[in-house]
Amino acid sequence: MPISPFVPPDFVIPETLETAEFRLRMLRVHDVVKDYDAVMSSVAHCKTVWGGEWPEGLTLEQNLIDLGWHQKEFQIRRSFAYTVVDLNETEVLGCVYILPTHKCGFDAEVYLWARQRELAGGLEERLAAAVRAWLMTHWPFQAVAYPGRDLPLAAWQAMPEAPR
């Protein structure tokens, strides 16, 4: 039985999401220095997004490899990693990851984070609200999960997977 594509072949992947505060666009290898700075200045917060130890011990070279992987996955439409930049693109403010899921009742799962120093000012909440609205209006998903936001990560991880 063939595996369903993550998005329909004729779906045009949105290139950007822009608000008065930030822009989302495809995460690329050319973002490595700014992305690395954002990640390494937010290590404690990033650990809470997925649980576990990442990005502890991350090197610039490893980050470049990760960004290359994300860029290729985006190009072949398997998953979509967006960098969150300020409107001048001088600084990475965070990232958004739109991933396929095998959990029952969902067709995508989304993780996102903002720089740790931006949390107190509410940037991550504004980012999450903008992404939710964008996914509802510009993407073909019927049921999107936000693990760690709508339900605890442990509960998400314990959910059954859909039969393949």
Q: How far apart are CA 156 and CA 20, in angstroms?
A: 32
Show the DSSP H helices in 16-152 as ranges.
32-40, 43-50, 60-75, 123-138
Cα 49 vs. chain centroid, distance in angstroms? 10
Show the DSSP H helices in 51-150 as ranges.
60-75, 123-138
108-114, strands of its sheet edge to edge: 16-18, 23-26, 80-85, 92-99, 108-114, 144-145
pTM over 0.85: yes
Per-residue CA distances from 82 to 16, 27, 37 (Å):
8, 5, 16
Query: pLDDT tens digit string along 134-164?
Result: 999 999 999 999 999 998 999 999 999 988 6
Query: pLDDT tens digit string along 104-132?
Result: 999 999 999 999 999 999 999 999 999 99
Structural domains in the chain? 17-155 (3.40.630.30)
Cα 44 vs. chain centroid, distance in angstroms? 17
